[in-house]
Amino acid sequence: PLNFTVGETGECNTFIASDLPSTDGEHPSVNGKEAPSQIICSPFHSSTLHKAETYETVCTDAEAADETAISPTTAFEVGGTPRRWVVLLSFSFLTGLNSMMWITFAPVRVGAMAFYGVNEVYLDWLSMIFMAIYPIVFAPMSWYIESGSMALQRGLRICAVMNLAGAAIRLCSTMSGSYTVLFIGQSVTAIAQGFTLGAPPQISGIWFEEHEWGLATGIGVLANQVGPAVAYYLSPALVSNTTGDGMALLLLVELCAVAATAVLILVAVPEKPSRPPTCVASARLEAERTTFREYCQKLAKIQQSSDVVLLCVAYGLCVATLYAFETLLGELL
């Protein structure tokens, strides 16, 4: 463990390392204080440090350099826990089922139109409502879940409850064949997607070690695309594409799956890991929430970069093509 004593100002450049032998026999000076050469300092937020406090950590020196803040705790250790895979699996079911409900009716367009008595435009809006709502809910919901591990847990729980409510409303629509009730249910699930589409990087950063970030984020994103694939298999298997018979059974199956996932999210996703996976995550777990206005200002500042704009346009075109293709695939076939 590395023992650091915080200096009078609470800044990193006044850290004094104690009880650490030098590897090369020399002790370079840091603000007039002798410190072992392997100690690497970077500016920490002084608001989170208190003078005369000692912090003990098993972080490596390089990891310590990447930290942006240290939580006022006397000791902590880092490393991934087995629970991280349970959290990722739970999230994968959550986001996969949400995207499955998005595209439920596209594979059985004719049957759905016959069952609810609507034309193609109304049916397409069951899918397009997701794309219409997302730009509205993305910023506030992303701001919320990026406020720390507790906010992420609550965001996933809210999403699970909204998925469950939307699935229940959709099932109720089959009792009277009401398109209006169905559209309300679709709208509720469309709002819920705001918590899931931007969550994979946040889950990776809080729960996974640095070398696993790419894998964990990729699994979370891929799970969202598995949902439509399952829908294109399940919907035609349960619903007649001529009369719409079996619609109630399809929506009941989805409701049961969503209910099971909601229970899994509530039970299996704790507030935070028993220990942070990295030193950077230890700071992120206790991140100080910025205001929504500050968050929007940061987003606006990022958009001033031409590279970011080009990346957004390129990615937007890819996603738009994918979503349009998935929405109209049934008609194309």
Q: What is the pLDDT of residue 153?
A: 94
Q: How is residue 82 annotated by DSSP?
A: T
Global pTM exceeds 0.75? no
Token representation of residue 207? 């729960």
Class assignment of domain 82-288? Answer: mainly alpha
Q: What is the pLDDT of residue 314?
A: 93
Can you tell me the distance from the alpha carbon of 197 to that of 134, in angstroms, rounded to the nearest whole number? 9
Place of tokens 């028993």: 274
Positive or negative torsion for Cα 90, 92, 98, 104: negative
What count of Cα atoms within 13 Å lies in the side-chain half-sphere of residue 86?
Answer: 12
Can you tell me the distance from the alpha carbon of 88 to that of 324, in angstroms, rounded to the nearest whole number? 28
Nearest residue to 155 (alpha-carbon basis) of 130, 132, 138:
138
What does 151-181 look like in DSSP terms, one character per residue?
HHHHHHHHHHHHHHHHHHHHHHHHHHT-HHH
Neighbours of 128 (CB within 10 A): 17
Token representation of residue 112? 């759905």
Q: What is the pLDDT of residue 64?
A: 44
Q: What is the pLDDT of residue 283?
A: 63
> What is the torsion angle, in degrees rounded to the nearest 10, for the CA atoms of residue 157, residue 233, residue 221 and residue 162?
-20
> What is the torsion angle, in degrees rounded to the nearest 10, for the CA atoms of residue 238, residue 242, residue 244 and residue 249?
-10
User: Whats the size of the chain, residue-wise?
Assistant: 333
Place of tokens 């809210």: 158
Nearest residue to 228 (alpha-carbon basis) of 54, 96, 75:
96
Place of tokens 């390392």: 17
**Residue 55 near residue 67, CB atoms below 8 Å:** no
**Residue 109 near residue 127, CB atoms below 8 Å:** no
Under DSSP, is residue 221 helix (H, G, I), strand (E, B) or coil? helix
> What are residue 273's phi and psi, to 5 degrees?
-65, 155
Which ranges of the chain would DSSP assign to H, the alpha helix? 61-66, 83-102, 109-116, 120-145, 149-176, 179-196, 199-207, 213-238, 247-268, 279-284, 292-302, 306-332
Positive or negative torsion for Cα 258, 235, 134, 303: positive
Under DSSP, is residue 306 helix (H, G, I), strand (E, B) or coil? helix
Q: Label the pairing between strands 54-57 and 29-30.
A: unpaired
Q: For the chain, give every domain's residue range.
A: 82-288, 290-332
Q: What is the mean pLDDT of each run of 10 residues along the chain (333 residues)?
A: 38 37 45 39 35 39 44 58 93 96 93 94 92 91 87 94 97 95 97 92 90 93 92 93 93 97 95 81 64 87 90 89 80 70
